[in-house]
Structure 1
Amino acid sequence: MSLKNKFRRFMEKKNLNPMNNRKKVGIILFATSIGLFFLFAVRFSYIVIGGHVAGTSLAEKTEQLYKGSEVVKARRGKIYDRNGVALAEDSTSYSIKAILSKTYTSGKKNLYAEEKNFDKIAEILNKNLSIEKNEALKILEDGKKNDLYQVEFGSYGKNISQETKLKIESDMKQAGVVGLYFENHSVRMYPNGVFSSHFIGYAVPDKDENGLVGKLGLEAAYNDILSGKDGKIIYQKDNFQRPLPGTVAEEVKSVDGQDIYTTLDSRLQSYLETLMDQVNKEYQPEDLTAVLMKAKTGEILAMGQRPTFNPETMEGLTGKDAVWRNLLVQDSYESGSTIKVFTTAAAIEEGKFNENESYQSGKIKVADATINDHDYGAKGILTMRQALSWSSNVGMVMLEQRMGGTWYNYLQKLGFGQNTHSGLDDEVTGALTENIVDRAMSAYGQAIGVTNFQMMKAFTSIANNGTMIQPRYISKVVDSSSGEERTTQTEVLGQPFSKETTEKVREYMRDVVESENYGSAYGVYSVPGYNVSAKTGTAQIASDKGGYQTGDTAYLYSIVEMVPSENPDYILYLTMKHPKTYDRTALAKIANPLMKRAMDFKESETDRAAEEKTEKVTVADYRNLNTDVAAADAQKSCLQPIVIGDGEKVKKQSTANGDHLISGEKIILYAGGEKLMPDVTDWSKADIMKLGKILGIEVTFHGDGYCKEQSLAPYEKITEDKLSFTLEE
């Protein structure tokens, strides 16, 4: 008989004896218990041996509960000018939260925000973050009501400065309350504000990348070099997810990003920005560009564009008029008459040019097109030399026709229609066309698409005795950890013209500004003490609808200068597109003062050799030092300390620890407390901007040069959030 049948008979057996019934129940319970125990033992053994429950590893789950990890952020590399002045660097901002959970304790001490202290906490937030007290109180009370672990305070609680953080912590301590805590966040700081902004670009926090990521300019193009590699720390943690001291089990060190030293000179760049602001305001062009380069090395000392933006505030990158493109490499345009220096050089090189040859100016027929001079022949008979200085289209077309296809070959030799390999994102190549009319028009700068960098590269061949140099904007890349440096070198791209040819062209370019009767810019462009070679340009602007735009100022105006003419040190190239008003001095208001300052710097420093000998000071960390001690130490380092505030210790400094200043430069040390206005007579614009930055006030300027007047008298208490200064040369 089977076991199943035996059990059934056992259960069905009639037995009304209570004793027997209890015996049966006991047997059943005992058997069931043994069975359950057996199953539990098997399951327990399986878990112990296998270490898994429902496909989940118990070891991994335990590790998650009691082992924590923390990312060690790599420092993003800094961007400097050629002299070690910081142009872009990492900084820290804070966000604030209130922890409401009663589980947040340490021993018997409560570390959470207690309900009885909500009113005091709301007052502190109102005082320091501009959030209404009632709004802060409601956030706290709603969080408590909904049993939230913590609450935040919206935009009011983000992007908090270190100074504000310290004030909140001090107020909390004085009030005897706890519960507010800060998280630090990496942000990118651009201490100069508008400063070759489309070239430098900007970097912002990126959730996907878990750090700062370059979005424009150098920050984007060299993001891999600047960003570095994050590290990691693994540690033990308690039930409240807090790290246990001394329990670091594993550490992977971070690798900081590399520092980039540009070729920019902050002194010239700052001055260029000021000059461009003034001209942009007066003439209101669609766009305005400027590049100043060392002729012999290709190093760009200053470059800018309008419209521009402030990477600190992002002002200028919003609205319908915002320009995201770097116009120097991402815009193609018809150059106009500045290209005539190459037409002339090519004709001389090919033996097709006689400076004394005469011709009738006015107009010339090419195929079915008639090409006119800008004055429609008002000058009558011109020589070929005067064709360049008076900017005759007819003369240039005659030279192009004599050269035939050779002219097109020269355009290619000079790099037009090709990528300059600048290293900046989304560079365009421009365009060359080969039909007979377009080729003739290209000789005077129409029907050819060029970029600013292409023009600068080609201009080096004229300024540098026929040798063409690659434009460059990086002087070196430095590994901040090892100190290893990779220095860029001057790159020679070819020899399109002979020395004799380019000397002749620069001589003819002097006529543009020196010839009273045949100089198209006579008396407009000058640099005291030096001969100037220059060529102006006025190009029609292509219309989106075909043909060219119309209107009195519907042109792209330009100027190239090479100084001094005999052996140029600098090349300056400016363009102004479709201004609302225009006169022939418009671009001279940038060119003359900027080139004068560049030559003054060269004269006083005996070029780069003297610059290399300039003593640089590595700035120490003065924060938390007694102000007297910090000031004395700065003086010993040959710096000029300016102490603001009556606090005992330095809270902020205008130049970060590890950055460089030139011996004798100012460093502002902010101590908090009552702030008195310093006497800023003879301060530079850059130093005043540092003052405004460290005090968190807006500064405006009138004029150029050095400070002669200030809206708030020296030693008056600073209570305003905006100050103005008058500058003079």
Structure 2
Amino acid sequence: MSVRNRIKMFIRKKNLNPMNNRKKVGIILFATSIGLFFLFAFRLSYIIGTGKVAGISLKEKTEELYNGSTVIKAKRGSILDRNGQVIAEDATSYSLYAVLSEDFLGQDKKKLYAQKKDFDAIATVLANNTDLSKEDALKYLNSGTNEDGTTKFQVEFGTSGKNLTLEKKQNIEAALEEQGIEGIYFEDHPDRIYPNGVFASHLIGYTDLANKDDESVGLTGMMGIESAYNDVLSGTDGKIDYQKDVNGNPVPGTVVEESQVQDGQDIVTTLDIRLQTRLESLLDPFVEKFEPKELTAVLMEAKTGDIVAMSQRPSFEPETKEGLELWRNLLVEDKYEPGSTIKIITSAAAIQEGVFNPTETFAYPYGGVVLDDTPGNETVVNDWDKGEKGTLNFRQAISWSSNVGMLELERRMGGAKWQEYLKKFGFGESTNSGLEAESPGHLPTDNTVDQAMSAFGQAVSVTNFQMMQAFSAFANDGTMLKPQYIKEIVNPQTGEKEVTQREEVGTPVSAQAVNDVRTYMIDTVEDPTYGIAYDVYTVPGYRVAAKTGTAQITDEDTGVYLTGPTDYLYSVVEMVPAENPEYILYITAKRPNTDYNKTSLAEIANPLMKLAMEIKSTDVDTQAADTTVAEGTE
């Protein structure tokens, strides 16, 4: 055998030696163990040093596992009338559902699902306590099968099974418990109740869930006071932290309150629930009888500017949203040409300028007053009776509502001076009511025709609040008051109050001017010859100062005045008592049907003013009695 072959055989024998193989495996295992040890040590050091695994904080995970927290929802503040009666307040509503899954079992395998044998009894209970019919309830109960034939875990009962009160929930639970029936459950939802129904709805507003997919976010205001004062009403949620056991339950003695809940503040309005309810009850039959496209009414305390009743039609039910077809608050958002009610302002300005003599007569030109005879753009102004009444003096021009008389006063003042008075009376700018989307209205253009027509309430656009503000000057010796609808804001936790003060916003004319005009307004209802509303507006035991208005309305598409028999904005402003007004009432009705006549608005005004004065008299007597008792006690 050659040397080469012997060497190969030696090497082969050596490699086949088991001892050598075990040594190699041992070396590899030892090296691997050392490597893993150092890798583990490095990884452990990294985790200890950073406190993170795969970018996730171990501390946060531990806190999440053993530390719990609960958000304590703040109670939304209530909205109240001036005497503390609730207009809007927080509540909880419930929606019901039926669990149908046979896997839904309790202890000792108790069946907690709705069984088919109980469906008829369940449907009867639901029909007796909700708006569901028995047939509909059975349909929902029998709709619990999926397309693949499996049973749904649960079924709901549509809109009629939602927004249930606590009383209805308890009645259903009691009826089912009495029969030993399981399977009907309830889910609670944050809710807002408005116990008076349609009640100054566009002023008060309504609420809705800010996030439909997350009820924990809570309610937010969507209109009116609910929206404009949402931050005040909402409050601030609180939070409670605690440690959890392995089952997720709070460990006794570990609860720590991190932040206190701060309930929303209550808003006390200036509304009087007695007058507001009466107003709402008067508007509905008026709408049914005369079918106006729009209707507004505002009753204000003359000496404070506090609005004690206000509403509009169309209106809506804030809980159900039924009737919510008009989203605008007509009293602040809509601008319109006011018509003849502005004539008392024209007359007061003319008196202030020294160009108004109540006994002086003025001429009525044949065919009316020509303001512009440009071919194709002729503008001729007539009185509503085409001058048939004959010669009038300026006092009669107010009570008989003469356009020609107002044009003469505007001419004597001068267009520029008259525009100054419009601004002094607050037109052309917002009243800063605090309500959303308030319009500033629109002053007449520099066109001489527009300026002249604005003297009798055309070619100038105003808001309802602006008119109320201007009218307030006639009850306060020439001083205008801002219309107010908030009396005070109250912190229910501390009792602290933020009281709204009477706010004077200007003195456009003297006391003599407004008092003279108010005297002439009495003629409107008391003068049998020159009173355009003679014996129409009455309040037993009191004299009434009033001014009516009939304004043309422009077509929104063409800008041309409508020509139908009742295509007008009819209005009245009324002050009672005439000598020293306690209340100012202003009503407008837009485009009623042809049954409308000059006495129609009195169907609202007379009973409302009668109640207002009765309440005022009763309140005065009560205050006097309280004062007498107090003095006697001293």
Deviation at 1:190, TM superposition (A): 0.3
Partner of 1:566: 579
1:188-237 deviation digits (Å, cap 9, x = unpaired) = 10000000110011112212781111000011111111111111122334
1:393-413 deviation digits (Å, cap 9, x = unpaired) = 001000000000221111110
Question: Closer, same or farther in 2 for the Cα pair 1:70/1:104, shift >3 Å?
Answer: farther
Q: So what's the TM-score if we normalise by structure 2? A: 0.87
Question: Closer, same or farther in 2 for the Cα pair 1:410/1:224, shift >3 Å?
Answer: same
Structure with the larger strand share: 1
More relative contact order, 1 or 2 (CA 8 Å, 6+ apart): 2
Which amino acid in the other structure matches residue 354 of structure 2? Answer: G
Given the alignment, which residue of 490, 496, 513 partners 2:525?
513
Counterpart contact for 1:100–1:144, Cα < 8 Å: no
Deviates further, 538-547 or 282-291:
538-547
Deviation at 1:533, TM superposition (A): 0.7
Given the alignment, which residue of 133, 152, 165 partners 1:161?
165
Given the alignment, which residue of 331, 335, 344 partners 1:332?
335
Which amino acid in the other structure matches residue 43 of structure 1? Answer: R
1:261-295 deviation digits (Å, cap 9, x = unpaired) = 11111101100001111111100001000001111
Q: Residues 16-415 of structure 1 correspond to what in structure 2 (within 5 A)?
A: 16-96=16-96, 110=107, 114=111, 118-119=115-116, 126=123, 127-128=125-126, 130=132, 132-133=137-138, 135-136=140-141, 139=144, 155=159, 158-170=162-174, 173-174=177-178, 182-207=186-211, 210-238=217-245, 241-244=248-251, 246-317=253-324, 322-361=325-364, 363-368=368-373, 369-404=379-414, 405-415=416-426
Partner of 1:651: none
Q: So what's the TM-score if we normalise by structure 1? A: 0.76
Partner of 1:418: 429
Distance of 2:405 and 2:495 partners within structure 1: 57
Where 1:256 maps in the other structure, the secondary structure is coil
Partner of 1:678: none
Distance of 2:459 and 2:312 partners within structure 1: 24
Deviates further, 456-465 or 124-133:
124-133
1:358-380 deviation digits (Å, cap 9, x = unpaired) = 12336112243321111111112
Which amino acid in the other structure matches residue 274 of structure 2? Answer: R
Partner of 1:465: 477
Which amino acid in the other structure matches residue 610 of structure 2? Answer: K
Counterpart contact for 1:51–1:57, Cα < 8 Å: yes
1:130-154 deviation digits (Å, cap 9, x = unpaired) = 4634644654999996997x88666
Partner of 1:483: 495
Where 1:606 maps in the other structure, the secondary structure is helix
Deviation at 1:564, TM superposition (A): 1.0
Which amino acid in the other structure matches residue 357 of structure 1? Answer: E
Instruction: Tell whether 2:599 aligns with 1:585.
Output: yes
Counterpart contact for 2:526–2:534, Cα < 8 Å: yes
Question: Closer, same or farther in 2 for the Cα pair 1:366/1:522, shift >3 Å?
Answer: same
Deviation at 1:156, TM superposition (A): 6.0
Partner of 2:567: 554
Deviation at 1:596, TM superposition (A): 1.0
Counterpart contact for 2:292–2:590, Cα < 8 Å: yes
Q: Residues 596-607 of structure 1 correspond to what in structure 2 (within 5 A)?
A: 596-606=610-620
Question: Closer, same or farther in 2 for the Cα pair 1:527/1:164, shift >3 Å?
Answer: closer
Deviation at 1:240, TM superposition (A): 5.5
Instruction: Tell whether 2:588 aligns with 1:575.
Output: yes
Counterpart contact for 1:200–1:218, Cα < 8 Å: yes
CA RMSD, 1 decimal = 3.2
Counterpart contact for 1:292–1:571, Cα < 8 Å: yes
Question: Closer, same or farther in 2 for the Cα pair 1:337/1:153, shift >3 Å?
Answer: closer
1:18-62 deviation digits (Å, cap 9, x = unpaired) = 444344334433443443344334323433443211100112122
1:674-699 deviation digits (Å, cap 9, x = unpaired) = xxxxxxxxxxxxxxxxxxxxxxxxxx
| Percent identical residues | 56
Where 1:132 maps in the other structure, the secondary structure is helix
Distance of 1:145 and 1:138 partners within structure 2: 11
Question: Closer, same or farther in 2 for the Cα pair 1:244/1:562, shift >3 Å?
Answer: same
Counterpart contact for 1:112–1:179, Cα < 8 Å: no
Counterpart contact for 1:553–1:578, Cα < 8 Å: yes
Question: Closer, same or farther in 2 for the Cα pair 1:35/1:487, shift >3 Å?
Answer: same
Counterpart contact for 2:340–2:550, Cα < 8 Å: yes
Deviation at 1:17, TM superposition (A): 2.9
Q: Residues 649-688 of structure 1 correspond to what in structure 2 (within 5 A)?
A: none
Could you list the runs of 5+ residues in structure 2 that have no partner in the other structure?
Answer: 1-10, 374-378, 630-634
